[in-house]
Structure 1
Amino acid sequence: MFELKKAILVTNNDRVYDKYKGRLSCVYTESYEDTLIKVRDYVYDRHKLLTHPQASSLKPNQTPYRSVLVYPTYEDNTKDILLIEKCMEVFNSWQNIARTPSNYKENVIEDFKTIDLSVIDNIMDRIV
């Protein structure tokens, strides 16, 4: 499958970062949008998406957290380029409709972090 040490986890979720920073390369970003931008940079630099940039059933303007795994590749990753570009387009469209609230209560913030963490936890065993 994949070598975990070569994978890169891009996240703006401190719980995801803290859990995985010792197991693989992790990049901490400031926001959901920054995560997408950093992932796009990796994809354009010949990395493939190991997780979907819009995983879970939450709309991009509902959750403030996103974590994405990428992996270096020498294969054609045109599909991943198109996917990340589409995800960024969808994110921006949703932000234009209604921006992600910045005043969630702490328990709601923790719930969103937990959802994002569970998505990454569920994929980790499958990639190695």
Structure 2
Amino acid sequence: MLLVTNNPMVEEKINCIPKEYVEVEYGEVLQIVKQHIIENNYVLLTHPLSGSIKPNETYYKSIILDDNQRPYTDLASLELIEDAEAVYDKFMKNKMRPNWTEKVLKDFAYVDYYIMRSTFECMQMQLPL
């Protein structure tokens, strides 16, 4: 598994799987994930548009990938990430992201972190004893 994130809170607090922390915008996180899907045959384990915050409102995005174990690109993952890129582009074109205060940015970071933390809790519940 691989966690790709631009969220410093996720980088600091989640240490149960390998991470790729990147200091880039939300849209660039999507591009990096797409590269992993195409070049490294990864598959999406979390939806690239998870959460209820619009892409033009938050700076932070964390996505979990897994090794496909096959020598070809997972087309379903590729389609999902390309759809997410199109949604991101549409929202950014229609309304640019506000210049949020530090407090609001911390709130957005916490929401993304909480989604990741909850995801890992759910995944561990499904693991065999």
Provide the TM-score with structure 1 as the length reference: 0.87
Letter in 1 for 2:118: N
In the other structure, the counterpart of 1:10 is: 4
In the other structure, the counterpart of 2:127 is: none
C-alpha displacement of 1:127: 2.7
What is the alpha-carbon distance in structure 2 between the residues aligned to residue 91 and residue 108 of structure 1? 20
In the other structure, the counterpart of 2:17 is: 24
> Aligned residues, how many?
120
Percent identical across equivalent pairs? 28
Stretches of structure 2 that go unaligned for 5 or more consecutive residues are: 125-129
Stretches of structure 1 that go unaligned for 5 or more consecutive residues are: 1-6
Query: Could you report, residue by residue, the CA deviation over 1:46-84 in whole angstroms, capped at 9, with x for unpaired residues?
Result: 111111111001111011110000000135621111000
Matched, 1:126 2:126: no
Residue number among 52, 65, 68 corresponding to 1:70 in the alignment: 65
What is the alpha-carbon distance in structure 2 between the residues aligned to residue 114 and residue 37 of structure 1? 23
In the other structure, the counterpart of 2:103 is: 107
Query: Could you report, residue by residue, the CA deviation over 1:63-112 in whole angstroms, capped at 9, with x for unpaired residues?
Result: 111000000013562111100000001101111001122x2111111110
What is the alpha-carbon distance in structure 1 between the residues aligned to residue 83 and residue 97 of structure 2? 19
Residue number among 63, 69, 87 corresponding to 1:90 in the alignment: 87
How large is the Cα RMSD of the aligned pairs?
Answer: 1.3
